[in-house]
Amino acid sequence: MDLLSGMTVFARVVEEDSFVRAAAALGLSRSAASKQVAWLEDRLGARLLNRTTRKISLTEVGRAYYERCLRILEEVENASQAVARLHDAPRGTLRVNAPMSFGQRHVGPAVADFLARWPELAIDLTLTDRRVDVVDEGYDVVIRILPMADSSLIARRIATTHRVACASPAYLARRGVPKTPEDLAGHACLEYSNLPTAGEWPFRRDGAVQRVKVSGPLRADNGDILRCAALAGLGVILSPVFIVADELADGRLVPVLEDHADEGVPVWAVYPHNRHLSTKVRMFVDFLAERFAGEVR
């Protein structure tokens, strides 16, 4: 037995003025309802009801307790209804984190469309290329474009992007065009520092991944900084396509080593493991997976 169940049975007995009718309304036997009230009285150390063979009546203590029970049970019901409403549609605040460049180009517009669809939801979006701690920092959903290793987290693949090695025409005219990944040893390479293997770039050769060591004049934790450096002719970058798509299209950057391009980098929506996944998280991740289905450019 528990206190809330005892209060529920007691209040119903008072309302029905009968153990028999209260038990029937609650789906209990009369003896079970009587035991609940007796247990409650024992726990409180006070008699709540006067019982005779023909009727029941509240004691003075019972009347005061009944009035408080009604308020408590009403609050419990209100809380249950609030949870039900939150479970039916996304409400409240959703805390989201995403990488800076991907967030500006893709997550930001997606968030705007999602909020337009669900106006009762608020989103707290932070953009950083730092690898955040999903649980300790209190995020509901984190977007990552990295291999996943957190066994305690759920990761859903929502898209794929490709990386392309490229440089400005001026740089390639000055330093030459690399023909193989090994040629990068003689080139200035602009490195993204947030990868665990920042000084090694992966390329595909004969169906296998080959990593080559690179170095150069600039390391940065943001892809747009490296894009600007490449446009200025400082060196070669290995960049997700979505960061350099416009520059590749108009010729300001030129792809190299295309025969050795990677097979795609997964984009993940990561969230803490929870047996009761909230509606706002589930619907937001579903929305992203539908919006970014396939390759992101």
- Is the pLDDT reported for residue 198 higher than 70? yes
Q: Alpha-carbon distance 226 to 291, whole Å? A: 27
Position 130, amino acid: R
pLDDT of res. 86: 56
Split at pLDDT 50, 70, 90, the class of 226 is: very high
Note the helical H segments in the chain.
3-16, 19-26, 30-44, 60-88, 100-102, 108-117, 169-175, 223-231, 241-250, 279-291
pLDDT of res. 222: 92
Contact 220, 192 (CB under 8 A): yes
φ/ψ of 292, rounded to 5, equals -100, 15
- Is the pLDDT reported for residue 216 higher than 90? yes
Contact 242, 297 (CB under 8 A): yes
- 79-88, 106-115, 190-199 — most confident range: 106-115
If you average pLDDT over residues 111-140, what whole number do you get?
91
Contact 162, 255 (CB under 8 A): no
- Is the pLDDT reported for residue 87 higher than 70? no
Q: What percent of the chain has pLDDT over 70?
A: 94
Domains of the chain with bracketed CATH:
3-87 (1.10.10.10), 92-158+267-291 (3.40.190.10), 163-260 (3.40.190.10)
Split at pLDDT 50, 70, 90, the class of 177 is: very high
- 55: Cβ–Cβ under 8 A, 6 or more apart, which residues? 17
pLDDT of res. 74: 86
SS3 category, 98: strand
Among 49-58, 146-155, 237-246, name the one with the lowest average pLDDT.
146-155
Residue in this structure with the two tokens 């050795």, named with its chain if needed: 260
Q: Alpha-carbon distance 237 to 231, whole Å? A: 10
Segment 45-58, tens digit of pLDDT: 999 999 887 788 99
The whole-chain average pLDDT of the chain stands at 89
Q: Alpha-carbon distance 12 to 34, whole Å? A: 12
**Entry field: residues in the chain:** 297
Residues facing 92 on adjacent strands: 121
Do strands 189-192 and 218-220 pair parallel, antiparallel, or not at all (unpaired)? parallel
Look at the pTM and tell me if it is higher than 0.75.
no
Split at pLDDT 50, 70, 90, the class of 84 is: low
If you average pLDDT over residues 202-222, what whole number do you get?
88
Split at pLDDT 50, 70, 90, the class of 179 is: very high
If you average pLDDT over residues 253-264, what whole number do you get?
88
- Residues 45, 50, 51, 55: what is their CA dihedral angle, to the nearest 10 degrees? -150
